[in-house]
Structure 1
Amino acid sequence: MNQARDVLDRLTETAANQHDLEAAMSLYAADAVVMTPDAGEIRGRDEITEYWHGLIDGFPDGHYESISKIDADGKAVDEGYFEGTNTAPMKTPTGETIQPTGKHVKLRSCDVATVKDGMITEHHLYFDEGEFMRQLGLTRP
């Protein structure tokens, strides 16, 4: 297993499964960049922490199920599903708060992490934002 694979596995476990954002943020370089479909480019641990809170806080039972893992040349890729029930308010990247919908979601996603010297320097998250909103009951099918 290469270093990138180990670091992304630890990020998935600490953030998505244990909801331990302090441990998860210790895996990001201080100047890390995260790219997301909903918030765009996020820079630095403070902003990354805030972004993760928006998802994790809204899904206290949320977890990630990996279906495919790849690693090569300092990068690790995970394909899988984020699954959970929205039982708490969620803060959106625009600062709005979405009240709990009580809806269960199972959202396919892909993560690509670049790791240097044991730290994530870039993390790209891919998921269908429209599908997420549909499963929450916030948009029509």
Structure 2
Amino acid sequence: MSNFWDLKHKLGEAINAHDIQGVLDCYSPDAVYVAPTGIAEGHEQIAWFYEQWFQGFPDLHFTPWFELGDVDNPAVTEWTTTGTHTGPFLLPDGRVLEGTGRRITFRSTCSTFVEDGKIKTHREYFDQLEVYSQLGFGLKELDPGEALSSA
């Protein structure tokens, strides 16, 4: 197994241990993390992103179930993420959702680009609607005037 995969596995272990320093040890100081919920640049922002998930879901756990084994860089993994929403969780609109006790389970995939032994770019992909509907949110139909004004 290459050092790219060793680093990716180390990241997964640190996430599952909720070890912020262990997570940051995997990233270069100027790394970029891209997710459906936003972009984090550098250690401070990346730490904040993970802290939001760990705070909202104290039992958050990533289970890898597929690794694209024929390539090293990027290291591509598919995960199932699970957790129980018991703590405050920042929503995309800036509101904080207090713990609901609801369980989440969602699939995601990520591409991790490594440079000089550290993660330079990590791109995470998941369906936000899948996550937020499990937290009690659904789609909202916009009235025609609202849809036109935001276009």
Shared fold (TM-score greater than 0.5)?
A: yes
Identify, as 1 or 2, the structure richer in strand: 1
4+ residue stretches of structure 1 with deviation over 2 A?
Answer: 91-96
1:135 deviates by 0.7
Q: Based on CA coordinates, which of the two structures has the bigger radius of gyration?
A: 2
CA contact (8 A) 1:5 1:75 kept: no
Distance 2:106 2:125 in 1: 10
Q: 2: distance between equivalents of 1:87 and 1:43?
A: 27
Q: 2:50 aligns with which of 49, 52, 60?
A: 52
Q: Please list the CA deviations of residues 23-62 of structure 1 after superposition, one character each: whole Å capped at 9, or x if unmatched.
A: 11111001001111111x2211100111111112111111
Secondary structure of 2:82 counterpart:
strand
User: Higher relative CO (CA 8 A, sep ≥ 6), structure 1 or 2?
Assistant: 1
Query: Which among 67, 70, 75 is matched to residue 69 of structure 1?
Result: 67
TM (norm. structure 1) is 0.91
1:73 CA displacement: 4.1
| Matches of 1:60 and 1:54, distance apart in 2 | 10
1:8 paired residue number:
8
Q: What is the Cα deviation at residue 69 of structure 1?
A: 0.8
SS at match of 2:62: strand
Q: Hey, what's the Cα distance between the residues in 2 that align with 1:80 and 1:66?
A: 4
Comparing 119-128 with 5-14, which one deviates more in the overlay? 5-14
Which runs of no fewer than 5 residues in structure 1 stay unpaired?
none
Q: Work out the CA distance in 2 between the residues paired with 1:108 and 1:62.
A: 13
Distance apart, 1:91 and its partner CA: 2.5
Q: Report the number of matched residues.
A: 139
Note if 1:25 corresponds to 2:24: yes
